[in-house]
Amino acid sequence: MPSMDPAGSKGSNGGPKADFFARKQRIEQQRKSLPIASVEKRLMDEVRGHDILIIVGETGSGKTTQLPQYLFNAGFCRDGKIIGITQPRRVAAVTVAKRVAEECGVEMGQRVGYSIRFDDMTSSSTRIKYMTDGLLLREALLDKYLSKYSVIIVDEAHERTVDTDVLLGILKSVQKARSGPINQLPNIDHTKANNGVVIDKENDSQRASSLNRCRGLKLSPLKLIIMSASLDARGFSEYFGGARAVHVQGRQFPVDIFYTKAPETDYLDATLITIFQIHLEEGAGDVLVFLTGQEEIESVERLVLEKLQQLPEEKRKLKVLPIYSSLPSEKQMQVFMPAPTGFRKVILATNIAETSVTIPGIKYVIDPGLVKARTYSARTGMESLVVVPTSKAQALQRSGRAGREGPGKCFRLYPEREFEKLSDSTVPEIKRCNLSKVVLQLKALGVDDIIGFDFMEKPSREAVIKSLELLTLLGALTEESRLSKPVGHQMARLPLDPTHAKALILASQFNCLEEMLIAVAMLSVESIFYAPREKLEEARTAAKCFSSLEGDHLTLINVYRASDELFEKSKIGNNREKAEKTMRKWCKENFINSRSVRQARDIHRQATSSFLGLKPKYDWQIRENVEQMGLHVASCGDDMLQFRRCLAAAFFLNAALKQPDGTYRVLSSGQSVQIHPSSVLFRTKPDCLIFDELVRTNHNYIRNVSRVDYLWLPELAPQYYTLKE
Ligand code: CDP
Ligand code: MG
- Per-residue pLDDT tens for 429-451? 999 999 999 999 999 999 999 99
User: CB neighbours of 308 closer than 8 A, spacing ≥ 6?
Assistant: 316, 318
Cα of 156 to ligand 2 centre, how many Å?
6
Kindly report the protein residue whose alpha carbon is nearest to atom 12 of ligand 1.
Answer: 62
Q: Which of 32, 39, 323, 358 to mutate to test the pocket of ligand 1 (most atoms within 8 A of CB)?
A: 358
Cα of 60 to ligand 1 centre, how many Å?
5
Instruction: Tell me, using a 6 A CB cutoff, whether residue 99 lines ligand 1.
Output: yes
Is the pLDDT reported for residue 191 higher than 70?
no
**Mean of all residue pLDDT scores within the chain:** 88
Kind of pairing, strands 344-349 and 52-57? Answer: unpaired
| Ligand 1 atom index nearest CA of 333 | 23
pLDDT attached to residue 621: 67
Q: Any idea which ligand is nearest the CA of 57?
A: 1
Instruction: Tell me, using a 6 A CB cutoff, whether residue 368 lines ligand 1.
Output: no
Residue 538: left if φ>0, alpha if ψ -120 to 50, beta else—which one?
A: alpha
CA dihedral 360, 365, 369, 372 (to 10 degrees): -30
pLDDT attached to residue 622: 81
Instruction: Tell me, using a 6 A CB cutoff, whether residue 428 lines ligand 1.
Output: no
| Residue of 298, 211, 699 whose CA lies nearest to 529 | 298
E-assigned strand segments in 324-457:
344-349, 362-367, 370-377, 382-389, 408-412
Instruction: Tell me, using a 6 A CB cutoff, whether residue 61 lines ligand 1.
Output: yes
Average the pLDDT over 230-255 and give the result: 91
| Ligand 1 atom index nearest CA of 65 | 8
Kindly report the protein residue whose alpha carbon is nearest to atom 7 of ligand 1.
Answer: 64
Q: Any idea which ligand is nearest the CA of 401?
A: 1
Cα of 33 to ligand 1 centre, how many Å?
12
Cα of 65 to ligand 1 centre, how many Å?
6
| Residue of 659, 655, 662 whose CA lies nearest to 677 | 662
pTM surpassing 0.80?
yes
Instruction: Tell me, using a 6 A CB cutoff, whether residue 92 lines ligand 1.
Output: no
Euclidean distance between CA atoms 349 and 357, whole angstroms: 10
The interface pTM score, or ipTM, of the predicted complex is: 0.99
Q: Which of 28, 99, 128, 286 to mutate to test the pocket of ligand 1 (most atoms within 8 A of CB)?
A: 99
End-to-end CA distance of the chain: 85
Average the pLDDT over 595-601 and give the result: 83
Cα of 335 to ligand 2 centre, how many Å?
16
Instruction: Assign domain 26-181+219-248 to a CATH class.
Output: alpha beta
Cα of 70 to ligand 2 centre, how many Å?
15
Q: How confident is the model at residue 232 (pLDDT cuts 50, 70, 90)?
A: confident
| Residue of 554, 514, 510, 545 whose CA lies nearest to 649 | 510
Task: Write down the H helix ranges in 511-639.
Answer: 513-523, 536-544, 552-570, 576-589, 594-605, 622-628
Euclidean distance between CA atoms 609 and 526, whole angstroms: 21
Is the pLDDT reported for residue 10 higher than 60?
no
pLDDT attached to residue 718: 94
Longest dimension (CA), the chain: 87
Looking at beta carbons, which pairs linking 277-281 to residues 24 or more positions away fall under 8 Å?
A: 278/364, 278/366, 278/411, 279/315, 279/318, 279/344, 279/346, 280/315
Q: How confident is the model at residue 199 (pLDDT cuts 50, 70, 90)?
A: very low
Cα of 60 to ligand 2 centre, how many Å?
7
Euclidean distance between CA atoms 414 and 643, whole angstroms: 48
Euclidean distance between CA atoms 357 and 500, whole angstroms: 31
Euclidean distance between CA atoms 703 and 682, whole angstroms: 10
Q: Which residue has the higher pLDDT, 501 or 22?
A: 501
User: CB neighbours of 243 closer than 8 A, spacing ≥ 6?
Assistant: 50, 52, 53, 54, 226, 236, 237
Summarised one tens digit per residue, pLDDT across range 515-543 is 999 999 999 887 788 776 677 788 888 88
Beta carbons of 528 and 597 less than 8 angstroms apart: yes
Average the pLDDT over 658-674 and give the result: 95
| Ligand 1 atom index nearest CA of 356 | 3
Cα of 91 to ligand 1 centre, how many Å?
13
Instruction: Tell me, using a 6 A CB cutoff, whether residue 369 lines ligand 1.
Output: no
Q: Any idea which ligand is nearest the CA of 65?
A: 1
Average the pLDDT over 250-258 and give the result: 92
Kindly report the protein residue whose alpha carbon is nearest to atom 15 of ligand 1.
Answer: 358
| Ligand 1 atom index nearest CA of 248 | 4
Q: How many helices (H) and strands (E) does the chain have?
A: 26, 23
Average the pLDDT over 354-358 and give the result: 87
Same topology, domains 26-181+219-248 and 255-427? Answer is: yes
Q: Which fold has domain 255-427?
A: Rossmann fold (3.40.50)
Summarised one tens digit per residue, pLDDT across range 454-500 is 999 999 999 999 999 999 999 999 999 999 999 999 999 888 899 99
Strand order from edge to edge, sheet including 344-349: 255-259, 408-412, 362-367, 286-290, 344-349, 318-323
Cα of 276 to ligand 1 centre, how many Å?
27
Is the pLDDT reported for residue 231 higher than 80?
no
Summarised one tens digit per residue, pLDDT across range 131-189 is 999 999 999 988 989 999 999 999 999 999 999 999 999 999 999 999 876 655 444 43
Instruction: Tell me, using a 6 A CB cutoff, whether residue 499 lines ligand 1.
Output: no
Question: In Å, how far from its chain's centre is CA 666?
Answer: 28
| Ligand 1 atom index nearest CA of 58 | 4
Q: Show me where the domains of the chain are located.
A: 26-181+219-248, 255-427, 430-493, 652-724
Beta carbons of 653 and 528 less than 8 angstroms apart: no
Q: Which residues surround ligand 2, an ion (CB under 5 A)?
A: 63-64
